[in-house]
Amino acid sequence: MTDVFDALADPNRRYVLEALSQRETATATELAAEMPVTRQAVAKHLAALNEAGLVASRREGRETRYELTPGPLASAMDWMAGVGAQWDTRLARLHHHLSDGSQRRGGGARLRE
């Protein structure tokens, strides 16, 4: 959980994720070619993403190709939705309590008003 959000906190890492969501696979050097940092920096980012379970690496000959594994994103979204839902129901309950009945509408996890 912490690893996932920490991985998403860096713009370069988010760029890598976006890039990998469009290509099927990519190598560190390929990604570094279109980014303002070194190959080793990208390799470190890919290691962090791998640690968070967001990418999977697979060596093919002399190059290592990375692919996106967006599973952990779902867990992160679940946590966020949970917080939002708690807040939402509490707010609904407050409204209900203030202006009597018939205020209860829509139910859960409406994050944007």
Partner DNA sequence: GTAAAGTGCAACCTGTCGGTTGCGCAGAGT
Partner DNA sequence: ACTCTGCGCAACCGACAGGTTGCACTTTAC
Q: Which residues form the interface with DNA (CB under 7 A)? A: 6, 9-10, 12, 27-29, 36-41, 43-45, 48, 57, 59, 61-64
Length of the chain: 113
Q: 77, 76, 73, 10: which is closest to 41 by C-alpha?
A: 10
CB of 58 to a second copy, least distance (A): 16
Q: List C-alpha distances in Å: 78 to 16, 64, 73, 83.
A: 23, 31, 9, 9
SS3 102: coil
* Residue 86 site contact among DNA, a second copy, none (CB < 5 to 8 Å, cut-off depends on kind): a second copy
Q: Specify the DSSP class assigned to residue 17.
A: H
Both tokens of residue 59? Answer: 């060596």
Q: Is the CB of 17 or the CB of 43 nearer to DNA?
A: 43
Sheet arrangement for strand 55-60: 25-26, 63-68, 55-60
* Residue 61 site contact among a second copy, DNA, none (CB < 5 to 8 Å, cut-off depends on kind): DNA
Q: Is 56 in the site for a second copy (CB under 8 A)?
A: no
Report the amino acid identity of residue 88. Answer: D
CB of 46 to a second copy, least distance (A): 15
What is the number of helices (H) and of strands (E) in the chain?
5, 3
* Residue 79 site contact among a second copy, DNA, none (CB < 5 to 8 Å, cut-off depends on kind): a second copy
Interacting residue ranges for a second copy, rule: CB under 8 A: 1-2, 5-6, 8-11, 14, 17-18, 20-22, 24, 68, 70-71, 73-74, 76-77, 79-81, 83-84, 86-87, 90, 94, 111-113
